[in-house]
Amino acid sequence: MNSAYILTGGNMGNSLENLSRAATAIAKNCGSIIAQSSIYRTAAWGNQEQPDFLNQVLLINTLLEPLVLLKKLLDIEHLMGRVRDKQNDPRTIDLDILCYNDLVLDSTVLTLPHPRLHLRRFVLVPLNEIAPDLEHPVLHKSIKQLLQQCPDTLNVKKFSW
């Protein structure tokens, strides 16, 4: 069994409902959800002229290999109406594999761990909530340490209804 951390996020439509739908689809098509962070509201990263995002990190146990998992996640995005026009544009749902076991992979379609994981508070804050001691297999620092050293200053707040 493999462990994968997946970042879910979105800022179009009913983002809260979209995160729930994505988690249900992930559990059905990718593997069992073992842990999930709180939901966080974050200002858009990169293109700030858009609505705030809601983000959550899921830990799943999966039998899928990384590239098959990626394909399943892209299929879920497509079924939920994700359109990939420009980088950092608004989206209904975004599903990113952050880490897969302690695998280091650099292919044309997937880089693990996620290459910008350590640079983004909207990733590190929810990941730190469920896996503060997880070690980044390239940087050899814990998620807690990476969060403390993160240069990103965007505000990341727990979402409240």
- Please report, for residues 28, 39, 60, 109, 113, the alpha-carbon distance to residue 139 in angstroms, rounded to integers and kept in the order given: 33, 26, 23, 21, 10
Structure tokens given for 105: 């992979």
Q: Which of 21, 41, 52, 94 is catalytic?
A: 94
Residue 123, judged by CB atoms within 10 A of its CB (0-12, 13-18, 19+), counts as buried
Assess whether 96 carries a catalytic annotation.
yes
Q: Which of 21, 41, 52, 91 is catalytic?
A: 91
Structure tokens given for 126: 């929810």
Q: Which of 21, 41, 52, 82 is catalytic?
A: 82
Task: Count the alpha carbons within 13 Å of 127 in the hemisphere toward its beta carbon.
Answer: 30
Assess whether 21 carries a catalytic annotation.
no
Q: Which of 96, 102, 106, 116 is catalytic?
A: 96
Assess whether 120 carries a catalytic annotation.
no
| Count of all residues that appear for the chain in the document | 161
User: Closest Cα partner for 147 from 114, 122, 124?
Assistant: 124
Assess whether 41 carries a catalytic annotation.
no
Query: What is the distance between the alpha carbons of residues 82 and 103, in angstroms, rounded to a whole number?
Result: 27
Return the active site residues. 82, 91, 94, 96
